[in-house]
Structure 1
Amino acid sequence: MTGTSYWVDLYQAQQRLGGGFLLTRRFVLTALHCLRGLSLDEHVGIELADGERVEGRVCRQDKEADLALVEIGAGHQVTLPIPAADVARDGDRWRGPYRPAANDVHLSGRVSAGAAQHLCVGGATIEALQLTTDQHLGDYSGYSGGPVEGVGDDGTRQPAVVGILIEQAPDRAAEARAANVLFAATIREAIRRFDHLDVVHLIDVLRPPGPDRDHLVQDGTTPARFVGTEALLLQLDAWAQRSLIDPSQIAELKFMAVKALIDGEGNGGTA
């Protein structure tokens, strides 16, 4: 169940760098500019929402899209819940569970444009959400890297993470001032750019279920055609625990297995 317990603060020594969130139990997704120029393989401290600090390292960067992955050290077992993921819809309400400090407000607002192409500051054209905020703060920079949760138009839909805050729009009437319009890269964009993510819980983001498939997941059981892949994923975890496979290869193997399943779904389940 999605909640506020999956976001993190990133530190180098005692200096807070910015926010991020657990996309899997191994990887933290953040906005690259939050890392303030840190290079690949540099170590960062990760403070979890429950106050625990674990070690991590910068493992992937996409400068043009302003996205980065921080890998949690192999010696740490993160047990906090991983967020459910979804695709945002135009007009939905959204909220930001992360805030830079305890005296800062939580952001909320409306998705004014979902999954649209956006030319970001880094130079890449990415799939992004355009968000309006209820809070007129002027400067939203401290919220970068935080997750965006979609809560539905009426606020009754089960919250699910739909994007990551990366930048804000300038006020056209005064360039030095920021408008209350933010942009968030979609989770689908992050998955596309970081191909070794462990994406088992993100299948519906890559290929959202249609009306003809909804009945397959109503009872919480695994559809028969998914059983083989699920068994393989469990076996990979078992091999990792026995040190039969290098941990750095596990996520890539899982991604390949899930991608094959998704591609099969796109071919009518014949793969």
Structure 2
Amino acid sequence: MTDPDSRHYWVRISEQSSPGGHRDAFAGFLVTRKFVLTALHCLQALSSEDAPLNLQMPNQRVIRGHVCHTATECDLALIAVDHAVVHDLPLPVETDWPRPNSPWQVTYCPPNEFTQLSGHVTHRPIDYTSSDEVAFTAFQLTVRELLKDYRGYSGSPVDTEPGRPVVGILMEQQLSRAGSGQATNVLFAASIEHAMDRFPQFSVDRLRREARGPRPAAGEVTAVAGGDDHDPGRLSASAVKKWLEQVKQWEESGLITPADATEERRRTLQRRGDHVLRGASGDRD
């Protein structure tokens, strides 16, 4: 039987020193098996930025983590899962671009709250400035459930339905222009593509450099496919095969998205094809 919670990938985050593990809890979600994405303003509840964290999964399992990167310019933060390789965490679903008039939902609920949010995307992504004067690429949502205060849902993943592509991370609620802090049923979410672009941990170029390892000694011939600073003439068939296996491993482990893996395979095979064609042309000269 399929675990009903396996279709969810949200994470309830709280400080380890918090009594009961629920005080000042906030939302985030798995973007890979190693990292959790959340809104930076949610970290204000922590005693310090390097405080040890509890990461509670939908099935109530709790693992440890810590803040590893913050992007103050767009109000986002990345949390690393401690000892991630020993945890059998689910692979997150694919990401997508939000489309106007498409339905959305948030399956995360704050502590002692049982209402899941839903509604429709009303506008295409725009350059948005938050109430804290932070700029990010956002899309506007209308919400059906009238709760007046949605702050406990900040950091939640926004998707179309469980198991479908994530389109954004819930950031803040629009206040009424009538003043007096009156709330509305309009929410703003940062697009997931914008969020992922803000962290070097998700750069394929970075993964490529790490896989390349130490620079070879003088005179030593290397044949690592995909490296921009290597001579394409050194791309042997065996090196290409080895690199494609590495890309597949990253994809299966959740380090890179399927779209990134497909693009990396295309680039590698194109470089290899160009080299073969150049060699054949040289043989005719």
Query: TM-score if structure 1 supplies the norm length?
Result: 0.71
Cα pair distance change 1:185/1:263, threshold 3 Å: farther
Radius of gyration: which is bigger?
2
RMSD, aligned α-carbons: 3.5
Secondary structure of 1:130's counterpart equals strand
CA 1:158–1:80: 2 relative to 1, 3 Å: closer
Would you say 1:55 and 2:64 are equivalent positions? yes
| Deviation of the 1:197 alpha carbon | 2.5
Whether 1:9 and 2:12 are equivalent positions in the alignment is: yes
Corresponding position: 1:78 with 2:88? yes
Contact in 2 for aligned 1:9/1:16 (Cα 8 Å): no
Q: Secondary structure at the match of 1:231?
A: helix
State whether structure 2 residue 199 is matched by structure 1 residue 194: yes
Task: Say if 2:110 and 2:153, in contact at 8 Å, map to a contact too.
Answer: yes
**Can you list the C-alpha shifts for 1:69-116, whole angstroms capped at 9, x where unaligned?**
110001541322412211110111111111113643111111011322
1:120 aligns with one of 130, 134, 140 = 130
- Return the alpha-carbon distance in structure 1 between the equivalents of residues 131 and 73 of structure 2: 8
The yes-or-no answer on 1:232 pairing with 2:246 is yes
Matches within 5 A, 1:36-51: 36=44, 38=46, 39-51=48-60
- Paired position in structure 1 for 2:217: none
More strand by share: 1
The aligned counterpart of 1:96 is 106
Greater helix content: 2
1:187 and 1:144 map into 2 onto residues whose CA distance is 14
Partner residue, 1:146: 156
Amino acid paired to 1:74: H
Structure-2 change in CA distance of 1:264 and 1:80 (3 Å): closer
CA 6–236 in structure 1, closer or farther in 2 if over 3 Å, else same: closer
Q: Are the counterparts in 2 of residues 28 and 72 from structure 1 also a CA contact under 8 Å?
A: yes
Q: Does 1:26 align with 2:34?
A: yes
Residue of structure 2 aligned with 1:174, choices 179, 190, 193: 179
8 Å contact from structure 1 (residues 64, 122) kept in 2: no
Residue of structure 1 in register with 2:210 after alignment: none
Q: Helix, strand or coil: the match of 1:174?
A: coil
Kept in 1: contact 2:244–2:265 (CA 8 A): no
Gaps of 5+ in 1: 152-156, 200-225, 241-249
Residue type at the aligned position of 1:9: R
The SS at the match of 1:36 is: helix
Question: Sequence identity, in percent?
Answer: 32
